[in-house]
Structure 1
Amino acid sequence: MADVSARERLESFSLLDPMTQSDPFAMYEAMQDAPGIYRMPETGFYIVSRYADLRAVLTDPATYSNKVDRASLQGPENAAKLRTYMEARGWPHIATLQRTDAPDHARYRKLVDRVFTVSRVREMGPHIEETAHRLIDRFVDKGECEFISEYAMLLPGTILAEEMGLPSDQVATFKKWADAMLAPASYVMTEEELLRNADIELEAQHHLASLFEERRVHPIGDWISALANAHGENEEPLSMAELQSIMSQLIGGGFESTMTAIGHALMQLINHPNQMARLRENPSRVKNFVEEVIRFESPTQGLRRRTTRDVELSGTLIPKDSVVIVRYGAANRDAAKFACPHAFDMDRSNAGLHLAFGAGTHFCVGAVLARQEIATGILAILERLDDISLARPLTEPIHRANFLTLPLRELPIRFRAR
């Protein structure tokens, strides 16, 4: 009877509905209660929602390939038109890094790991903290701000813009480019909208191309320089198309998801004032707090895979060449793994077992930096602001419509300076 009820509940939801995308957790629960793997009627995509099933997919890249067209949501015809358009005017979306399988992935990962070292991120720590306080200086005396646009977006945006050779006051340009890179995977567009969006990405590509060429000859210590010169003495340097592909993934993974997590972090503290008080009293709790934020409202709700053969998962036969969506946001609220999964608890003992950064060989290369920016960003806010509350109720849906991520539309807050 429960299975029938779960199937009936699923029929009332759609993952393409902005209201469901903003609050998908009831749909996820129905998916987990229903037998087998849920197949989206609108797209034919198979949605993997249970923690154990996600682990099985993420740790078997031979069966669940990362080689998936990032514009697959647009349908085969428009995805093909986008490929042709990009190739004619810039660089095509070739497969690198997270969009490749072994042995190609190992080559890209080795080169990128030389850029994203733990020591390099630690070196960035003081600059991240300085940037956070500089942003707070702009609104601390006003007693209110729109937290997403005035802080959560600007903190990772400023750091990434600087690493891309843009002045820190050009974060708006960077955000426009980042949004364009993410758009084909995020929501369905008409052909006209898709190509108009491509023009913005092409603008970013040509900016990056000139920087990559310049930094190959005159490196200055930023990510562009490091990637352009990441190859060893006997290794092939990355081609311009490869550099463009890797950079678009670093921007997509390192910007929107971190911005989203910082916004969610403050929203949960506002919703749970006792936990905010405890974090103020003991900032060393921030590490586990960050893990719980990432578990609770996974910034990246899902990513794509493609089956390389017919495969059975949880009793469902998934045909070869099917698109599979690993739904991190669902797995991180799976009651089979996390007790009381819909409760936010910064002291949760197994919060760090979330899958929001993936698992296996494709574990997120920017995880260390993301954690640093979220922790530093929130501790700076608690150090400078007191009596933080919502300035007004949030308008539903509170998140922007997006198939793969969970970005807050806004977070208007009021406070007093400490």
Structure 2
Amino acid sequence: MAHVSMGDVTNAVNRGVVEELGSVFGLEPEALRCPYPHFERARAERPVVFVPDIECWLVTRYADIVQVARDPHTFSSLVPTGPVLARQQLEGVMALLTDEPELGAGARPSAGTRVLINANPPEHGRQRRLVNRAFTPPKVKVLEPRIREVAHELVDAFVAEGEAEIVSGYAVPLPLTIIAECLGVADDDLPKFKRWSDDLTGLIGNHSMSREQTRSLLLSQREFFLYFGERVAERRAEPRQDLISDLVEAEIDEVPLTDDEILGMLSQFLVAGNETTTKLIASAVRILLEQPDRAASLRQDPSGIPAFVEEVLRLEPPVQGLYRTATTDTEVGGVPIKAGEHLLLMYAAGNRDAERFAAPDCVDPDRPGLMSHLSFGHGEHFCVGSALARAEGRIAIEVLLERLADLRPAGGVDLARLEYEPSYVLHGIKELRVAVTPAG
């Protein structure tokens, strides 16, 4: 009988898990729709496993993700896109600029500027203390009437038609309008604002970077930073009641933010302030379509909507995970990690860890620890805009259920075959057509 070593068994298990995960990181449509069974196998067999496709360790267990997120000194945030995309972007940009150097012209933050999501202590803590003031619950509360007003205006635009495409007609323009108004962007500039957002996020979690995508990214970055560079200069001369003025005037220990830091923050607010909430709203609508009894119950008792939104966040996190880099030799979940190696904290996997959440694949608004999911991150890098995202998600569903007596998939729509954006990091439905019946 041939001898089988534990090393052979371990390698075989690793291969099986990695091969299955390949469908997610290879952006296969079915895996993008529902990556969770693939994460479940990894969590059960190899909760910390090296995945060559993304050149990093995938971390899928709740406790391990929390361990890493709580230790920003050992696990750096300087490479938030992961090593593969970072290298591809550098190579693609350099190749394009060699042929078209004019694309590099224009104002933009210097390459060494680190802001919020890709900043480490102590810079990150200083920046957070400054921007936290802009997204406090009282400030978000002031925005709620306007959020509700925009939601009603959007429903007005489609309610009489009997059908709507809920992503482009509701989930996109609601948070986009609010964050644009917070930044002082004129209504006429909203289409441009959305294009910048799409270009800046189109490569996240997608390693098939084309030359044309690189060009669009550079053009949008240049336009964005020139546009907001002018706005920052205007606010320094004449402050207004908006977020840019808050950033321009903010100081900690008499040290203000630099223009590079402000521009970097504004680009992150653009993305985080609309893309993620768009995905949350679309996922919430999809679940209500799948569970009409729940929609009817929430229509009768809207007080349950905030807890429902938390469960949508847990089950379908708009940001499925983020990267970290080990700064020293360490270990995670008993697995040795060398200095310089990368990890992908897969929040979407941790959110369905049965060791932390009972019946993790079910919607249960009454579960203990309802808000302990990882969809806004954890620790020092917990999402600064979480209060705004929660308010927008809650109000979006409140208004839909208030205005619509019935909400169902439009003819020909198969909820089990919806197309998702080509990304293993950003989890978003591309299109969702619904049939609607006005209330009253």
TM range (shorter): over 0.9
Does the alignment pair 1:12 with 2:20?
yes
| Letter of the structure 2 residue corresponding to residue 105 of structure 1 | H
Larger deviation: 192-201 or 86-95? 86-95
Displacement of 1:80 in angstroms is 5.7
Which residue of the partner structure matches residue 290 of structure 2?
A: 271
Pairwise CA RMSD: 2.3
Kept in 2, the 8 Å contact 1:46–1:325? The answer is yes
Which residue of the partner structure matches residue 65 of structure 1?
A: 76
Structure 2 CA distance for partners of 1:72 and 1:316, relative to 1, 3 Å: same
Which residue of the partner structure matches residue 314 of structure 1?
A: 333
Computing the radius of gyration from Cα coordinates, the structure with the larger value is 2
1:197-236 equivalent positions in 2, closer than 5 A: 197-231=217-251, 235-236=254-255
Alignment coverage as a number of residue pairs: 417
* Structure 1 residues not aligned, in runs of 5+: none
Larger deviation: 211-220 or 88-97? 88-97
Which residue of the partner structure matches residue 300 of structure 1?
A: 319
Distance 1:348 1:226 in 2: 38
Which SS does the other structure have where 1:185 is aligned?
A: coil
Does the alignment pair 1:175 with 2:175?
no
Which residue of the partner structure matches residue 143 of structure 1?
A: 162
Larger deviation: 381-390 or 333-342? 333-342
User: 1:149-206 deviations in whole A, cap 9, x for unaligned?
Assistant: 0000010011112223323354322111112222343322035532332211211111
Distance 1:355 1:114 in 2: 22
Displacement of 1:90 in angstroms is 2.9
Which SS does the other structure have where 2:240 is aligned?
A: coil
Larger deviation: 156-165 or 143-152? 156-165
Kept in 1, the 8 Å contact 2:55–2:84? The answer is no
Which residue of the partner structure matches residue 90 of structure 1?
A: 107
Which residue of the partner structure matches residue 3 of structure 2?
A: none
Distance 1:184 1:193 in 2: 8
Kept in 2, the 8 Å contact 1:302–1:404? The answer is yes
Does the alignment pair 1:35 with 2:46?
yes
Which residue of the partner structure matches residue 421 of structure 2?
A: 400
Distance 1:235 1:186 in 2: 38
Structure 2 CA distance for partners of 1:107 and 1:261, relative to 1, 3 Å: same
Displacement of 1:89 in angstroms is 3.5
| Letter of the structure 2 residue corresponding to residue 39 of structure 1 | F
Q: Give the structure-2-normalised TM-score.
A: 0.89
Which SS does the other structure have where 2:324 is aligned?
A: strand
Distance 1:110 1:311 in 2: 29
Structure 2 CA distance for partners of 1:83 and 1:104, relative to 1, 3 Å: farther
Distance 1:196 1:412 in 2: 28
Which SS does the other structure have where 2:58 is aligned?
A: strand
Q: Which runs of 4+ in 1 moved over 4 A?
A: 1-7, 83-88
Distance 2:405 2:14 in 1: 44
Larger deviation: 385-394 or 294-303? 385-394
